Every structure is written in C-alpha cells, then in structure tokens.
C-alpha cells in the first residue's frame, strides 16, 4: 500500500493528505516550472515569496495589521511580538498571544481569521518547533 506524504521544502516537516491542517499548507504547481514541480510549504514557512512562487494571492505580509505590536510597547524590558484578539477598541490582556517573531504573530492571526482555533493556530505558528 502506497502512502503519500507532503514534505515542507524548507524544514522537512511532513503531512499526510488527510491531516486536518492541510488547508494551511501551500501545495501548488510552481510557476514557470515543468509539470510536477511543486512548491510545498508548512504553515510556519508560508511566506510572500512562497505564495508568489505558487501563483497565489498575497496575504497580510505587506499590510500593517493593527492587532500586532511589539511586546516592548507594554513593558520596556519585554521582547517579541503580541497578537491582540480583543474585540473592537477594548484591549483585554487575556486576549494577547505572545510570539518571538512578527511572522509567527502574523501567521497566527491569518490562521485564526481563516477559522482555526487559537490553541491550534498558536501551535502551528510557533509551538510545534519545540517538539523537533
């Protein structure tokens, strides 16, 4: 019995076609290459460049999302980035999600906006690295 695995071209992370997070991966024919040359990226490595190679629409990366800000804006000694899921103009610290990189916070918000739970999105955006 043959089993198909998708392997991220950057980190080597694998996924089977029936995995729940498949919709957050880029799996597409690479533009300008012969048939069968794919661009495959896990949620951690979904960047503008990867989306361009796959011929996909750009998302969030060139837009300044007001829900992301530096941790140092709250605490001068803090490092990293915060993704704020507070509703409206109210800032609720219980709705802050902390990340090391801005890209992680951006990926987190993209996945939550697309319908993924916050626990799963934070795992995919930054948490899975701890298991490797």
pLDDT in tens, 85-101: 988 777 888 899 999 98
Sort 116 into a burial class: Cβ within 10 Å, 0-12 / 13-18 / 19+. Answer: buried
Q: What confidence score (pLDDT) does residue 131 get? A: 47
Question: Encoding tokens for residue 28?
Answer: 């597409």
**Cβ proximity of 27 and 6 under 8 Å:** yes
Q: What confidence score (pLDDT) does residue 42 get?
A: 85
Q: What is the pLDDT of residue 63?
A: 52
CA 91 to chain centre: 23
d(CA 58, CA 72): 28
% of the chain surpassing 90 pLDDT:
14
pLDDT grade for 33, boundaries at 50, 70 and 90: confident
Question: Is residue 120 scored above 80 in pLDDT?
Answer: yes
Residue 105, pLDDT above cutoff 70: yes
């Amino acid at each position: 019995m043959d089993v198909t695995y998708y392997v991220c071209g950057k980190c080597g992370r694998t996924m089977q076609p029936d995995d729940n997070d498949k919709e957050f991966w880029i799996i597409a024919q690479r533009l300008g290459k012969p048939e069968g040359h794919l661009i495959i990226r896990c949620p951690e490595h979904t960047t503008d460049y990867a989306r361009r190679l796959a011929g996909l629409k750009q998302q969030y990366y060139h837009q300044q999302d007001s829900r992301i800000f530096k941790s140092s804006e709250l605490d001068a000694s803090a490092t990293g980035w915060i993704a704020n899921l507070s509703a409206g103009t109210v800032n609720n610290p219980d709705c802050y999600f902390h990340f090391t990189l801005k890209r992680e916070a951006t990926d987190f918000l993209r996945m939550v906006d697309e319908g993924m739970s916050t626990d799963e999105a934070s795992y995919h955006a930054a948490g899975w690295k701890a298991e490797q």
